[in-house]
Structure 1
Amino acid sequence: MAQPRDEGSSLLLSLNHSSNHGPSIQESVQISPSHKRSSFCCQRPERLWSTSIVALAAALSPLVGGYALGYPSSSLINLSNMTHNRSLVNGSVLVDTYGALVPFGALFGGAMAGFSADTLGRKPTIIIALLPYFVGWILLGISWFINNSIAFKVIILVGRFITGFGAGWATLVAPVYVGEVSAPSLRGFYSSLPQLLLNVGIFLIYCIAVIPGIEYYQTAFIAAGMSCIAFLIVIWLPETPRFLIAKENFKKALKVLVFLRGPTMNAQEEIAEIEGAIAKQKKLSCIETLREMRHRSVYLPFILMLMVMFFQQFSGINTIAFYGEIILKDAGLSQEMAKYMALLSIGLCPVIFTLPTVLTVDLVGRKILLMASALIMGFSSYGLGLFNRYENLNILGIVSMICFEFGFSIGYGPIPWIMIAEMIPLRVRGQLGGILAGFNWGCAALITGFYFVYVEYVGADYAWWTFGFLNIASFAFVAFFLPETKGKKLEVMEKQFVNNYKLCSYR
């Protein structure tokens, strides 16, 4: 599942501040006059290694989150063969619930993210969010040793929910942290790291799943160990300069910026720019946000982004991420072949396809990439439907799954989160961004929870043809209704929605 990308301010979080920011920057920090004054937005930082290490370390929590997303694909095969009346039967309500509990738990974890990040800080929030990860994976691991069927099923479901809670909590804050420690000139590159490492996490669980004889509880204990390693690394990270400035801790913010950018960069100018951005960012109450919804420049982009989030999740992507190995196995591949093909198509391909997207999104534009993404996923879905309907179409099924992952990675994976920052006005972005993220997790829970129910009712072939229809519908929606945001300032987009919103606009 795609993660939020930060564009200089939190996409999903609003900073608390007052009109009185206390002492000025000059009174709080002393900067050498030898520093050259130039626009820091256009400067390439003197030091890249420090920001790279910090951003990679913060992105470890999405890595564990990706591991959780890919976990059902292999674990459900193990759980279907359990003894002592503990097996989970494919197509049962228990299996549907098992898959849906991670995105369902993420709804509640995401709700905690805004409050904890603004109150405690970005770094403490990432650290604390690793705790439910660890607890959830430990519960899943120890369930193996419980013979009572009722206690066993309760523990694995609770473990999945707690793991999802941690995923929603951490994966919303990590992109914000990465965006706030990155230099503006390289923010696009660094903001891709959480999504990239989430895909690495999915790849990792599929890699581990092909180890002969490995069981679901062993992969759970591996994830618990990964959570501990991530914790030991993250505790050494600095707090973000933006949060420190919001709390009027200018001296510490200066120290962090010097570490991140290098001693010869003009940290004073960047601090002044951040402070100015915070001063303009008024935090609205729920009532004030509802009043803002009367404005065309607010409700129109919000409705459009709701539709984009709907089409992202109802493309079928999380069905593949959660149940890819089971889908391949049920369609006729042997268990070993299904494992290796899932590793190739669902594990490796998204990792390979994610980075090129970062390089092309600012060249080609958002709209063209979303349309290409929807079209590729639409045809791939029809191919997966044929694969499930007819025998001896293994090559078609594997190629269709790889193409589906490619289509999602070039468009509907990262771009919806980019467009939140480019379409939703800053004054309501915290609240509406949170609603959009919650809606996204809710759609994911519906898809993963009811996929096997729908397959039982209409068959796997018609299920994938339904996804194909929805993907073609999303192509038409983007072509007719979604404006291009590439290279446009937020103020320009607001005016466009009020005065000049046109169908089929590519400018």
Structure 2
Amino acid sequence: MNKDNNLRMVVQEIEPLQKKDLEEAPEHEVKPSGFPRLKFLKRQLFAAIAVSWVSLIIGYSSAFSAPAEHSIKRDFNLQGDSEISWMSSFMPLGALIGGLGGGSLIEYIGRKWTILLTNILFFVAWFVCYFAQNYIYLYIGRILSGVSVGIASLTLPVYTAETLQPEVRGSLGLLSTVLGNIGILICFSFGIYYEWKGLSMIGVLLCVPFMVMIWFIPETPKFLLAQNDEAKARKALQWLRGAKTDVEKEFVDMQKFQKETANDSENLLVLFKKKNMKLLGIELGLMFFQQFSGINGIIFYITGLFDKSGSNINADVCTTIVGVVNFAATFVASMLIDRLGRKVLLYISSVSMAISLAVLGLFFYLKDVVLMDLHSVDWLPLVCFMTYVLGFSLGFGPIPWLMLGEILPAKIRGPAASISTAFSWTCTFVVTKTSLYFIDTIGAHYTFWMYGFIVCCSLLFSIFIVPETKGFTLADIERKLTGVKVRRISSLANIKPTPSFIG
């Protein structure tokens, strides 16, 4: 009995202390239940959504050619595929130009204002498309869109990487890819009902929300520290973490790391240091395998590919279904990336794409070469395209862009991101411009098998070359990958809620 009374007294003494500790705990600490207190996520979530809205416009722009193709050919009396091919290819060509200049922009005018510039360029581009009198206007609009895409592609991951905490950097960092796929879905869905002119006006309207949201988000603390504006950097960090959160330790760590890298050479020769070249090479490898998986050759011409498959299912409906899968897969990836890590998702991505491309190649081989009647399995191309897009969106779609902001050292992040983005869009241009040529010359089956072989190589690259960055701060990632011994952050940092818990 005495033991029971003593135990009861101890519990009574501990409970008030536990309650008091919980009430006084900073907003970023973990509750005993295992879930983080989530109030601190609100502003980071808003900032991530705001800048990711531009990614929605990128996705919409990327998908424009597929639903607009038939009405453009009719209204401008285009007989062949050459003009449409160039219309699709001008966007990645413009993105190449934008990517080359974007690195300098984010270093001189900042991440925030560079993103605003890209949104304005999109606004102008879609107006040019809407008032097009002939297909040359559409060429100009697509080039302007491409320049904006190229700049935004390197700016968005840098902004999110520099503003989000490690435990949510993966999931919230993928919001740009989620919204990008929503943009693709919006374009495919409206493409069922609207022709090229209506789709262009929707593009104009999509640019408006960001012009409002931009005024409520800060510049990144890292950029402000690099500009020697410590007061604004601290204010920006405080805004991102919440008014009641103690940011002193994080801010001091930022200052310390800024001083550690301040003595590095300011010229581009620092890019050619062995440790930096290795990391740049990893990023370029990720970009190469992302694009030479054939994704843009398929997304840009997916409606025509469904027509070639001979399926009885409406091609526009099939395209929209693929868009839905594309969106859903990235949402799943955003929930898994901080649990499974980057490498595991890349494995899943490579295997699922390789299998689906192999089966697609076999289907078109039997249909076009063997001349086998495949009407009983005319649903198979849709399933394969869905699996392919699902696999891509889980891994090789979002992760190369996420890691662009993670593995590139701070001192070379601008120029290295510029080179990586330009390289990515060069690959996109090559894939987009040559896909129809390959399909017409060597056949759809060999084209899919060629991309499938490249995807198999991407699996080996992911296993042996790509580093894992889950759970590390940007400073720790840089120290680890450049050879400096680093201590892993607390495992509590990896405990994150599902999106339904974000308040």
1:373 to 349, 369, 372: 349
Instruction: Look at both structures and tell me which one has the larger radius of gyration over its CA atoms.
Output: 2
Q: Deviations over 1:409-463 (max 9, x none)?
A: 2221222334456655554444333222211111001000111111121122221
Kindly state the Cα deviation for residue 313 of structure 1 after the two structures are TM-superposed.
Answer: 0.6
**2:163–2:220 Cα contact (<8 Å) kept:** yes
Partner of 1:416: 400
- Gap regions ≥5 residues in structure 1: 1-35, 147-151, 498-507
What SS does the corresponding residue of 1:273 show, helix, strand or coil?
helix
Alpha-carbon distance in structure 2 between the residues aligned to 1:323 and 1:179: 33
**1:46–1:265 Cα contact (<8 Å) kept:** no
**2:159–2:220 Cα contact (<8 Å) kept:** yes
Return the letter of the residue paired with 1:256. Answer: A
Q: Deviations over 1:188-240 (max 9, x none)?
A: 222111111111111110111122xx211110111011113322332343333
Kindly state the Cα deviation for residue 403 of structure 1 after the two structures are TM-superposed.
Answer: 0.5
2:307 to 326, 329, 338: 329
Partner of 2:197: 217
What SS does the corresponding residue of 1:412 show, helix, strand or coil?
coil
Alpha-carbon distance in structure 1 between the residues aligned to 2:226 and 2:409: 20
Q: Deviations over 1:316-336 (max 9, x none)?
A: 1112221211211232246x8
Partner of 1:25: none
Q: Deviations over 1:275-324 (max 9, x none)?
A: 223223346455523541xx3x3444443443332221111111222121
Return the letter of the residue paired with 2:391. Answer: G
Q: How does 1:57-68 map to 2 (within 5 A)?
A: 57-68=50-61
Q: How does 1:43-62 map to 2 (within 5 A)?
A: 46-62=39-55
Kindly state the Cα deviation for residue 163 of structure 1 after the two structures are TM-superposed.
Answer: 0.8
Alpha-carbon distance in structure 2 between the residues aligned to 1:178 and 1:482: 21
**2:106–2:114 Cα contact (<8 Å) kept:** yes
Distance 1:312 1:351, change over 3 A: same
Q: How does 1:231-250 map to 2 (within 5 A)?
A: 231-250=211-230
Partner of 1:160: 142
Kindly state the Cα deviation for residue 168 of structure 1 after the two structures are TM-superposed.
Answer: 1.5
What SS does the corresponding residue of 1:159 show, helix, strand or coil?
helix
Alpha-carbon distance in structure 1 between the residues aligned to 2:466 and 2:302: 31
**2:361–2:445 Cα contact (<8 Å) kept:** yes
Distance 1:318 1:247, change over 3 A: same
Give the TM-score normalised by structure 2.
Answer: 0.80
1:468 aligns with 2:452: yes
Distance 1:243 1:206, change over 3 A: same
What is the aligned-residue RMSD (CA, Å)?
2.9
Identity over aligned residues, as a percent? 28
Partner of 2:93: 104
Return the letter of the residue paired with 1:289. Answer: V
Partner of 1:82: 75
Distance 1:388 1:299, change over 3 A: same
Partner of 2:126: 137
Partner of 1:120: 109
Aligned length: 444
Kindly state the Cα deviation for residue 65 of structure 1 after the two structures are TM-superposed.
Answer: 0.6
Kindly state the Cα deviation for residue 52 of structure 1 after the two structures are TM-superposed.
Answer: 1.8
1:303 to 267, 281, 291: 281
**1:246–1:275 Cα contact (<8 Å) kept:** no
Alpha-carbon distance in structure 2 between the residues aligned to 1:195 and 1:68: 14
Distance 1:251 1:64, change over 3 A: same
User: Which is further off, 358-367 or 482-491?
Assistant: 482-491
- Gap regions ≥5 residues in structure 2: 1-23, 31-35, 368-373, 486-503
Alpha-carbon distance in structure 2 between the residues aligned to 1:176 and 1:477: 24
**2:97–2:147 Cα contact (<8 Å) kept:** yes
Alpha-carbon distance in structure 2 between the residues aligned to 1:61 and 1:299: 30
Distance 1:371 1:262, change over 3 A: closer
Alpha-carbon distance in structure 1 between the residues aligned to 2:111 and 2:215: 12
Alpha-carbon distance in structure 2 between the residues aligned to 1:39 and 1:384: 50
Q: Deviations over 1:47-77 (max 9, x none)?
A: 3322222221111111101100111111112
1:382 aligns with 2:358: yes
